[in-house]
Every structure is written in structure tokens, then in C-alpha cells.
Structure 1
């Protein structure tokens, strides 16, 4: 089995599911340019394919955010870099519903990927609190949920064509930091946004 073929099937399946999240295996196979039998050679079921998409999304997410989180940048700069890099990825992360909490029956690797993401988001949220970027009384769980929801919303609105991909990260940051940020953070954001628009 060719890894290139498997990756191509995943990529084209993402595009198909971005158009119709309820697409059946026949429709997905057509969109991927393979027969049903070929698709089943790589994935035992639609659920197996969805798990592969979620794992690919987790790897793509890690490739983007891990170097940023490991950098010596202040937390607010990490936040800006993550948001401005994640929003353009759109379909590959959005269609997989990567940020949805996996069920108890979720494939263990998918669940581990989700839990790694959640731990990273909590660490960033804590750093934002520690550095005075956001109000200290806001619970971490709320900061993480707000940020994840806004990223998901940005992906949807860019994909639907309602918001330009260049504008979406800054709308996301403005919404998140206006609701949670300190006065100094908002002054900083205004300057940062002017430079990047």
C-alpha cells in the first residue's frame, strides 16, 4: 500500500466532507478518485477514515503550534502567531471536528491527540493569565473553550466566504481579547493589528 495514495485519499476526503459532512463512502471514494474497494484497502470503514482524518488534523495542528509554544515569545505573541497560522488551515482541521470532545469509545490515538491539544491550550491560557494578558479571574476552562470556539467559527466563516481569510484571525483575536483581555492588552492589540492590516 502506498503512503502517498493514503495521504491523497485523506486530503481529498477532507475536501469532500467539507462540502458534505454526511457524505457516504461511495461519494468519498469518487471524490478521492478511487474505487470503493481501494478505499476499503486503506480504511476498514467510514469511521476508520474519519479517525485517520482526525489524526492527520492532529499532526497538522502540532506541526503549527508546537514550535510556537516552545519558543521564547511572550504568551500574547504566541497567541497571535497560533491564531494567524491556524485560521488559514481551515478545511483540514474544521471538517474533522478536531476540537469536539471525543467520546469514551473514541479511538485511543485520536483521544490522545485531543488531550495533548487540550493540555497545550491550557498551558497557553495559563501563560496568558500569568503574563497579565487576560483577566486573572477568568477560569482556564472558559479561556480554552472560548478560544477553541472562536477558531472553529473563523474556519467556518472563511470557508463559507463570509469573512476574508486575512481578516478572520484579527476578528478572532479582537473578540477573544476584548472579552478576556486587560486594558493594556487591548492597547497592544490595536497597535499590532494596525501593523498587520
Structure 2
């Protein structure tokens, strides 16, 4: 095996552990590292080669969470179209994060690193989208950007909880989320 192949295999194993941690911890925040190793299809020793302890794994999951949120935000193309359309795309992209959203809401230690506090309560890019929506008539100007952001997070959390409890299809849950935020955003 070449060094590049070994490095690629190492990266894939690390990613498999992070993916398993997100999936397992989203359903049970008290899950053991053994449970995560089993879900990742690696031994506990292998897991500990990548993450010395639970705190290190949670920190890595926090970094992964931020990276996935940033990629979802990029895919939402917030600079395109009306403010309301951009918010809808953002909801759709964030909804696709699934277990990661559940984990964000359930694991308070996940959002405590400096990278999270730097983000502030409402990032400037989101504020710019909302202000664009005020000007183009697609977002109610009486609703502050922070309020809209909180409503979106609450609806995403509610949607994932509802899907877990009822086994409703994802497309139906996303439709309900988008319909619920529609009073804030006029229909497309």
C-alpha cells in the first residue's frame, strides 16, 4: 500500500467514525464509544487511535458539524434570487443534514467551541438575505432576522422530531416545514 493509499484509508476510517458518531449520538446522547465503534464497523482500539476520548470525538463532531453547515449554506446559494427564495433553499439544504441537526439540538457541548462563538447570534450573510427579502417584498419587514433564524431552527428541529416519532416521509416533513415558515415568507 502506498503512502497516498494509506492516507486515503485513514481519512475514510476517520470519516466513518465521525459519521457513525453523528448517527448514534443523534439517537442516544449517552451512547458509548463502543456503540460508535460498532456502528462505524471498527474496533474500539481503532476508534481510540483516531480519538483519544469522548471529548476529542465530540470536538471533532463539532468541527464536522460546522463544515457541513457551511457546505449546506454554500449549496443554498444565498446570493441568488429573492430573499424568500434563498431562505427556502437554506431550509431545504439544512433539512438534508438530518441526524446532524438532531445532534446539534441534543448535545449542548457540541456548540461551545470558539468557532461557534465567532458566528454570533445571526451571521451577516443571513442578515443580508433577510434585508434583501425586506426590499424585494418576500420577507415581512416586521420580523427581525434573528427571529426568522430562530423560527427556521425551531421548525427544522420540530420536523426531525416529527419524522422520528411518526416515520413520515422526508419529503412530506420538508413540505410541512416550508409551509410553516410561509407566513414569514410569501408563497413562491
TM interval, shorter chain, is: 0.7 to 0.9
After TM superposition, the structure 1 = structure 2 runs for residues 107-122 of structure 1, keeping only pairs within 5 Å, are: 107-112=113-118, 115=119, 118-119=122-123, 120-122=125-127
Residues 1:60 and 1:80: Cα distance change in structure 2 (over 3 Å): same
Scaled by the length of structure 2, the TM-score of the pair is 0.79
Question: Residues of 2 paired with 1:68 and 1:151: CA distance?
Answer: 15
Indicate if the aligned counterparts of 2:14 and 2:50 stay in contact, CA closer than 8 A. Answer: yes
Give the corresponding residue for 2:156.
151
Residues 18, 95 of structure 1: 8 Å contact kept: yes
* Equivalent pair of 1:14/1:92 in contact (CA under 8 Å): yes
1:127 equivalent in alignment to 2:132 = yes
* TM-score normalised per structure 1: 0.76
CA contact (8 A) 1:51 1:110 kept: no
Please, which of 64, 68, 72 is the counterpart of residue 56 of structure 1?
A: 64
d(CA) in 1 for partners of 2:50, 2:139: 46
Tell me, yes or no, if the aligned pair for 1:90 and 1:156 is still in contact at 8 Å: no
- Which of 25, 28, 31 is matched with 2:33 structurally? 25
Residue ranges of structure 1 left out of the alignment (5+ in a row) = 193-197
Name the counterpart of 1:76: 84
* 2:146 counterpart of 1:138: no
Q: Any conservation in 1 of the 2:155–2:177 contact (CA below 8 Å)?
A: yes
User: Helix, strand or coil: the match of 1:134?
Assistant: coil
User: Which sits farther off after the overlay, 8-17 or 129-138?
Assistant: 129-138
CA distance in 1 between counterparts of 2:109 and 2:181 reads 21
Q: Is the 8 A contact 1:76 1:128 kept in 2?
A: yes
Q: CA RMSD in A?
A: 2.8
Q: Which digits, 9 at most, give the CA deviation of each residue in 1:113-158, with x for residues without a partner?
A: xx17940433333333332223212222211111111112212222
User: What's the counterpart of residue 169 of structure 1?
Assistant: 174
The reply on whether 1:85 has 2:124 as its aligned counterpart is: no
